[in-house]
């Protein structure tokens, strides 16, 4: 018994009620799903391979910068239109939708950290979602994330509600952030914020639940409990995942029902955290953990080690330690050295699947 049989989920990219069923099941069973930022077909493949081999679901997400990279660094990406980010995200979505069924696992197709200045990016993707929904009965993306954590709380909530109303007819999931995630990632630098801003208050979680629930049940909250993007020396980041348990208790009491964990929480800035911190957060209702920085490092190490090991074969097209006329094409073919990065990244995703208790859940 597992996700596919218990929930009757399809494989490939999932939407709407299937996403809700998956997150509900994860919260009930005590596991979370790694969310891997992808910037190319290569990183997509690395994540999918790990999830397939571990018999686990996976979340693939593109950031605004990652989506633009998917389209090409030489493509214009104006602040007003975000055209490269829009088209790159759409291209990534179609690619993932095309190949995900081959891996025979459920995949949540998500977009990450849309700040206020990046809302044109979200608008462009939602236009494509609505067009796709009209033709196919499902949106193109499973879910989107809006990050207005730097804005006043009431503005954050009201803006998110306006987008949730647009997404609700498509049963599309919305992830929102309340409480700032520190550090720096993908051009968003919160390294100098007041420490108090890293911790969300339970009253704010309740405000969100009150505003969102009448509109849609397809939403989650990235609450701050000391989270920081990136990886830092031990002791520099103080996480308090126990706060999420207090938020759950507060909302549960306000709702007055029997559900002790009514909120779907998201763990941002997961890279570099301890397994114990992950597990405590998961026990308090975290169903999704973002792990971008660790994946970037893992991808690099495979390529770095390959080049270091084979450096004498990579200086010229012809000529190596085996002879001056020996060709080196088999060593410098991109399919060889890029594949090494895929393998090390895939192995790192596999560690997350084990640590978050996602492995073997299918």
Backbone angles phi, psi at 117, to 5 degrees: -70, -15
Q: Is 147 annotated as a binding residue?
A: yes
Angle value at C-alpha 11, between 130 and 353, nearest 5 degrees: 110
Q: Is 272 annotated as a binding residue?
A: no
Q: Is 200 annotated as a binding residue?
A: no
d(Cα 44, Cα 103) in Å, to the nearest integer?
11
Q: Is 129 annotated as a binding residue?
A: no
Tally of CA atoms within 13 A in the half-sphere of 311 that contains its CB: 4
- Of 209, 181, 201, 328, nearest in space to 268 by CA: 181
Q: Is 270 annotated as a binding residue?
A: yes
Is 257 in a helix, a strand, or coil?
Answer: coil
Q: Which residues on adjacent β-strands are paired with residue 219?
A: 174
Q: Is 240 annotated as a binding residue?
A: no
Q: Is 143 annotated as a binding residue?
A: no
Q: Is 269 annotated as a binding residue?
A: yes
CB 57 within 8 A of CB 105: yes
41 exposed, middle or buried (CB, 10 Å; 0-12, 13-18, 19+)? middle
Q: Is 247 annotated as a binding residue?
A: no
Q: Is 149 annotated as a binding residue?
A: no
Question: Catalytic residue positions?
Answer: 112
d(Cα 177, Cα 224) in Å, to the nearest integer?
8
CB 184 within 8 A of CB 190: yes
- Of 203, 202, 177, nearest in space to 188 by CA: 177
Q: Is 229 annotated as a binding residue?
A: yes
Q: Residues at the annotated binding site?
A: 113, 147, 177, 229-230, 268-271, 290-293
Residues annotated within the binding site for Zn(2+) are 113, 147, 177, 229, 268
The binding site for dihydroxyacetone phosphate comprises 230, 269-271, 290-293
């Amino acid at each position: 018994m597992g996700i596919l049989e218990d929930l009757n989920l399809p494989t490939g990219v999932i939407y709407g009620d299937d996403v809700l069923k998956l997150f509900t099941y994860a919260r009930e069973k005590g596991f979370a799903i790694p969310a891997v930022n992808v910037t190319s077909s290569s990183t997509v493949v690395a994540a999918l391979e790990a999830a397939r081999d571990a018999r686990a679901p996976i979340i693939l997400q593109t950031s605004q910068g990652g989506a633009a990279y998917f389209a090409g660094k030489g493509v214009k990406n104006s602040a007003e239109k975000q055209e490269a980010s829009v088209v790159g995200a759409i291209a990534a979505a179609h690619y993932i939708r095309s190949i995900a069924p081959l891996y025979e696992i459920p995949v949540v197709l998500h977009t990450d950290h849309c700040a206020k200045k990046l809302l044109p990016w979200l608008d462009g993707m939602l236009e494509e979602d609505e067009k796709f929904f009209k033709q196919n009965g499902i949106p193109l993306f499973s879910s989107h994330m809006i990050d207005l954590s730097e804005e006043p709380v009431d503005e954050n909530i009201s803006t998110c509600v306006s987008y949730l109303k647009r997404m609700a007819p498509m049963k599309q999931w919305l992830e929102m952030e309340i409480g700032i995630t520190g550090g720096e990632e993908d051009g968003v630098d919160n390294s100098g914020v007041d420490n108090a801003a890293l911790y969300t208050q339970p009253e704010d979680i309740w405000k969100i639940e009150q505003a969102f629930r009448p509109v849609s049940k397809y939403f989650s909250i990235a609450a701050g409990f000391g989270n920081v993007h990136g990886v830092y020396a031990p002791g520099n980041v103080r996480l308090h995942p126990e706060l999420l348990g207090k938020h759950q208790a507060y909302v549960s009491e306000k709702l007055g029902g029997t559900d002790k964990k009514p909120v779907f929480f998201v763990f941002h800035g997961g890279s570099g955290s301890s397994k114990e911190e992950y597990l405590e957060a998961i026990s308090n209702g975290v169903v999704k953990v973002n792990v971008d920085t660790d994946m970037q490092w893992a991808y690099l190490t495979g390529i770095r080690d390959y080049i270091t090991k084979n450096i004498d074969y990579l200086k010229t097209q012809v000529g190596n330690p085996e002879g001056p006329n020996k060709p080196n094409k088999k060593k410098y073919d991109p399919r060889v050295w890029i594949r090494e990065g895929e393998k090390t990244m895939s192995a790192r995703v596999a560690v997350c699947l084990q640590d978050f208790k996602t492995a073997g859940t299918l």
